[in-house]
Amino acid sequence: MNTNKLIVALDVDNAQQARELVAALRGVVGMFKIGSQLFTAAGPSLVREIISSGERIFLDLKYHDIPNTVALAGVEATRLGVSIFNLHALGGNEMMERTADAVSECAQAEGFTRPLVIAVTVLTSASESTLRDVGYHAAPGELVPRLALLAEASGMDGVVASPREVGTIRSAVKSKNFVVITPGIRPKNTDQADQKRVTTPRGAILAGADYIVVGRPILEARDPAHALRKILDEMESSAANTVTI
C-alpha cells in the first residue's frame, strides 16, 4: 500500500483526541502533522510522546520571522526529533539559508537525524484576489515556481504547494529529489471548506506529489479509519497508473 505518501493533519484541540486518532490510524499513514492549533494547545511534550511511540511527525508551524529567530526555532524542532518542519518562503533567502545551516549543524553536533526543512510557497487557501489584497500582483501560478526556486537555492529540501502547481514546480527547480508536499486534497464528493486550489488524492499523486496532507476529510468523517482507507485506495489506483499530468 501507498501509505508513506499520506500525512494526516492532527488538526484537533487537545492531546487526548490526537492520541485517539494516532491509535486509530497508526500503521497506515506515513506521518502525522501537528500544526499551530494542536501545538498551541498541547505543546512539545505531545510531539515527543507521539515520536517515542514510533510515529513520524511533520511539525507544521510555518515559521516566518527574522532569520536568527527562525534558525533557532529550527534547531529546537531538530532537537524534538520531528521528521519535517516548515517555514514560509516569503521570509526570504537569508531566513531559509540560515535555518538550513543551523539545522544541519545541530543535527551533526548533537547526533539528531536532520529533519527535512520545507518551505510554504503560497497557501492553498489563497486565491489570486487574496494575493492582490496583500499587495502581490502575481497569480499563485507565477509566484509559486518563483518561491520554489528561491527555496531550493536557499537550501530547502522541498516545498508545500497546491497539487495543481506540482508540474510548474518540477519544471522550475533543478533537483529531481526536491520534495513537494500537497495539502488542499479533497476526495470526490467532499466539502472544499476554505481550500481554494484543491484536487483529489489521485490527482495529486498523478501530478507528482511526494506526500499529500489530508485533514478534514479524515477528521470530520464519521469513521476516520474508513475515510483514510478510501483515500489510500484512491492513491493506490493512481500509483498503478503510469499517466502523468
Catalytically annotated residues:
62
Closer CB to ligand C5P, residue 35 or residue 203? 35
Name the minimum Å distance from CB 216 to ligand C5P.
3
Of the residues 140, 158, 163, 183, which one makes contact with ligand C5P according to CB under 6 A: 183
Residue of minimal Cβ distance to ligand C5P: 215
Interaction residues for ligand C5P, span 63-102 (CB under 6 A): none
Of the residues 83, 99, 154, 195, which one makes contact with ligand C5P according to CB under 6 A: 195
Does 11 bind ligand C5P (CB under 6 A)? Our answer is: yes
Name the minimum Å distance from CB 159 to ligand C5P.
9
Cα 118 to Cα 14: distance, rounded to the nearest angstrom? 26
Report CA-CA distances (Å) from 126 to 8, 61, 111, 131, 177: 21, 18, 38, 7, 26
Report CA-CA distances (Å) from 178 to 75, 101, 107, 219: 22, 17, 20, 29
Closer CB to ligand C5P, residue 154 or residue 195? 195
Q: Hey, how many other C-beta atoms are within 10 angstroms of the C-beta on 133?
A: 10
List the end-to-end C-alpha distance of the chain, in Å, as a whole number.
22
Cα 53 to Cα 45: distance, rounded to the nearest angstrom? 12
Look at residue 219 and give its three-state secondary structure.
Answer: helix
Name which of 90, 184, 92 is nearest 135 in CA terms.
90
Interaction residues for ligand C5P, span 216-235 (CB under 6 A): 216-217
Binding pattern to ligand C5P, positions 117-156, x when CB under 6 A?
---x--xx--------------------------------
Cα 74 to Cα 208: distance, rounded to the nearest angstrom? 27
> Where does this chain bind ligand C5P (CB under 6 A)?
9, 11, 35, 60, 120, 123-124, 160, 183-184, 193, 195, 213-217
